[in-house]
Amino acid sequence: MPKRYYLTTPIYYVNSVPHIGTTLTTFVSDVTARYQKMHGRDVCFLTGTDENGLKVKEAALAAGKQPQEFVDEISQTFRHIFAGMNIVYDDFIRTTEPRHVKAVQEVFRTLQKKGHIYTGTYEGWYDVSSETFYKESDLVDGKSPDGNEVRWVQEENYFFRLSAFAEPLLKHIESHAEFILPESRRNEVVGFIKQGLRDASISRANDGWGIPVPGDESRVIYVWFDALLNYLSATGWPSPGYEKLWPCDVQFMGKDILTRFHATLWPAILLGLELPLPTTLLGHAWLLIGGEKISKSKGTVVRPLELADELASMSGCKHDIAVDVVRYYMAATMPYENDSTFSYEDFYKRYNSDLANDLGNALNRSLVMAHKFVDGKMPVASAEPAAVEAIRSARSAFERSMTEFRIHQAADAAWGLVRFLNKYIDTRAPWTLAKANDPSLPNVIAAMLLCLRATEGLIRPLLPSTADAIAAQLGVEPLRSWDRIGAPDAMPHNIGLGEPKPIFPRLDLKREIMQTPQPETARPPQAATNGDQITIDDFTKVKLRIGRVLEAEPVPDSDKLLKLQVIIGGERRQIVAGIRANYQPDELVGRQVVVVTNLKPAKLRGVESQGMLLAAVDEKGGAILLQPEKEAPEGATIR
């Protein structure tokens, strides 16, 4: 019986509806599942909801609802949001389901029989917010280490002999480098276990909510002991056939629940049951807002579907594409080892720079040129080797990143190919090849289209709807098999290309986002007066052409100037512009601009400028760059 690729997320407390942070882990899991499916693996991706705790019961009562009615509603909201984010799981488990209750009670009985469970008196502190027991010495100023209120508990409880598993656990961690990722987290776990593990209290007094201890109705099973077992109960354990899934290939979670629960209590239970341990536990860092943990009470909650709705209405992109943009953001900024901070400004800037400029331009320019220069068909010609090599290297960088589930690096690998393609178009300049009847033109266009096809494959696990849109514009079926990325026949010769349609309309960042443009005094506005009139001959002395920004960086020691590399119909120019107050270098790259090309070169802050950009002047003296109303031919003249 071949083993399926089994991956899991934490099961989420249903005390409140999900936000962008809770969605992040499920998204990372979705990307991994899609990636493995593209490799032909039979994948089972499990997620679900954690419904039995005191925290959930208290939230239900606070909402004036019966716990069951409350958990039914919120569990449904999680499914709704995951579906809206195009997250495709294979199983959704709820800890109030009979299949789970049955398995948990069976685990309890089995561990009891094996002598790993005993009864005793528990006396200590309990943090309802994280459903965690603490010793007096764990508390900080009378609160839990996370700053939550704690309550005193004294009760007859069942204990699990966690202490007995410290040594075997350390051995396993030390001999399996891939067991806990990233490495920095592994060190934290080892340090925690080496401090000594206490036996774990695994029951609470039965107050009518939770899974009863088998044979003792006065007690319910401690919610963490119950919750961790969801990964096992979803396999059907102990019924035959569970080995088809077990053990998990990878389990994703935030760092908050790695050390104490997933990397100690959980594998210790499995060792007690004599079951193999999961291959990898990945504890990622936090997605923060305003530098702090996402908090409902501080109003710093961002809901992923609302974010997508907002983007779709502001930019005019389709809703499924806006969902992909939120997915892209989560991928590109994935808090792997370190926390990352969400901001609207960063989100919208990345939309313009990475999606509208990088990917959108690469797609649009390639298709427009293929229609113009090779009759809108994939040429019967082999792609130039530079492009073939760029695809190979992007694909292998993506694969390397995915061996440790570094989704942010995988996204960067895919964008490496997109950036290559834009530069390749600028340097190979098909428009000049066409003018010169250069025989390499079909090879260049074939290379561009093959790069797009490979990009479609690489981004498919991350941005499935965008990948479909690219395939449709290329006139091909979606690329579903990883092996086909970069295959020479992935773009069949003579295939008719679809119509180029921009999928990421640019956002006007200054109007929508940038609330406080800085004043810029370099060019005061000049009104034309009759005495200043010029003739048409005077005007035509000024040579104006369309350029495209290739690179942009600040000029050192100047808060006004940016140094740009601009390509003007195949000719590269360095231009220094006083636009830094209104523009970030990143948002300029890929953008078309209007350039005065016959201005005498000048030095600004010691840096040569070989042209000038045209800009309108805003109320504060800042520059608003002029741009053609739609993509203009490269290097077009302006009259």
- Residue closer to ligand ME8 (CB basis): 27 or 348: 27
Q: What does the alpha-carbon distance between residue 406 and residue 403 come to, in Å, rounded to a whole number? A: 8
Shortest Å, Cβ 122 to ligand ME8? 21
Q: Which of 156, 140, 157 has its CA nearest to residue 148?
A: 140
Report the 10 Å Cβ neighbour count for 194: 10
SS3 for 301-317 is CCCHHHHHHHHHHHHCC
Shortest Å, Cβ 223 to ligand ME8? 8
Shortest Å, Cβ 244 to ligand ME8? 21
- Residue closer to ligand ME8 (CB basis): 76 or 598: 76
Shortest Å, Cβ 343 to ligand ME8? 14
Chain positions contacting ligand ME8, by CB under 6 A: 10-13, 21-22, 24-25, 50, 227-228, 253-254, 256-257, 286-287, 294
Shortest Å, Cβ 168 to ligand ME8? 21
Shortest Å, Cβ 462 to ligand ME8? 17
Q: Which of 626, 625, 627, 619 has its CA nearest to residue 520?
A: 619
Q: What does the alpha-carbon distance between residue 238 and residue 240 come to, in Å, rounded to a whole number? A: 6
Shortest Å, Cβ 16 to ligand ME8? 8
Report the 10 Å Cβ neighbour count for 520: 21
Mapping DSSP to helix (H, G, I), strand (E, B) and coil, where does residue 554 land? strand
- Residue closer to ligand ME8 (CB basis): 256 or 404: 256
Query: Residue 238, preceding bond cis, omega within 30 degrees?
Result: yes
Q: What does the alpha-carbon distance between residue 395 and residue 454 come to, in Å, rounded to a whole number? A: 8
- Residue closer to ligand ME8 (CB basis): 21 or 500: 21
- Residue closer to ligand ME8 (CB basis): 27 or 398: 27
Which two three-digit tokens encode residue 120? 């005793």
Shortest Å, Cβ 195 to ligand ME8? 22
- Residue closer to ligand ME8 (CB basis): 11 or 270: 11
Shortest Å, Cβ 628 to ligand ME8? 41
Distance of CA 624 to the CA centre of its chain: 32
Shortest Å, Cβ 246 to ligand ME8? 16
Is residue 78 within 8 A of residue 53, CB to CB? The reply is no
Find tokens 């406080």 and name the residue: 516
- Residue closer to ligand ME8 (CB basis): 12 or 398: 12
Q: Which amino acid is residue 117, in one-letter code?
A: I
State which residue has the least CB distance to ligand ME8: 21
- Residue closer to ligand ME8 (CB basis): 75 or 473: 75
Shortest Å, Cβ 141 to ligand ME8? 23
Q: What does the alpha-carbon distance between residue 536 and residue 390 come to, in Å, rounded to a whole number? A: 48
- Residue closer to ligand ME8 (CB basis): 10 or 569: 10
Q: What does the alpha-carbon distance between residue 210 and residue 223 come to, in Å, rounded to a whole number? A: 7
Half-sphere exposure of 113 (CA within 13 A, CB side): 9
- Residue closer to ligand ME8 (CB basis): 50 or 354: 50
- Residue closer to ligand ME8 (CB basis): 11 or 470: 11
How much is the CA Rg of the chain, to the nearest whole Å?
29
Shortest Å, Cβ 629 to ligand ME8? 41
Long-range pairs, 128-133, Cβ under 8 A, ≥24: 128/53, 128/54, 128/55, 128/58, 129/55, 130/256, 131/53, 131/54, 131/55, 131/222, 131/223, 131/224, 132/224, 132/260, 133/200, 133/201
Query: What are the start-end ranges of the E strands in 14-168?
Result: 43-50, 91-94, 117-127, 132-134, 151-160
- Residue closer to ligand ME8 (CB basis): 286 or 482: 286
CA dihedral over 439, 441, 445, 450, signed as positive or negative: positive
- Residue closer to ligand ME8 (CB basis): 294 or 491: 294
- Residue closer to ligand ME8 (CB basis): 227 or 479: 227
Q: Which of 581, 372, 590, 358 has its CA nearest to residue 466?
A: 358
- Residue closer to ligand ME8 (CB basis): 87 or 507: 87
Q: Which of 638, 631, 628, 620 has its CA nearest to residue 579?
A: 620
Which two three-digit tokens encode residue 572? 């590269």
Q: Which of 60, 77, 67 has its CA nearest to residue 12?
A: 77
Which two three-digit tokens encode residue 14? 């249903």
Mapping DSSP to helix (H, G, I), strand (E, B) and coil, where does residue 528 land? coil
Shortest Å, Cβ 560 to ligand ME8? 38
Q: What does the alpha-carbon distance between residue 419 and residue 262 come to, in Å, rounded to a whole number? A: 39
Shortest Å, Cβ 299 to ligand ME8? 15
Shortest Å, Cβ 17 to ligand ME8? 10
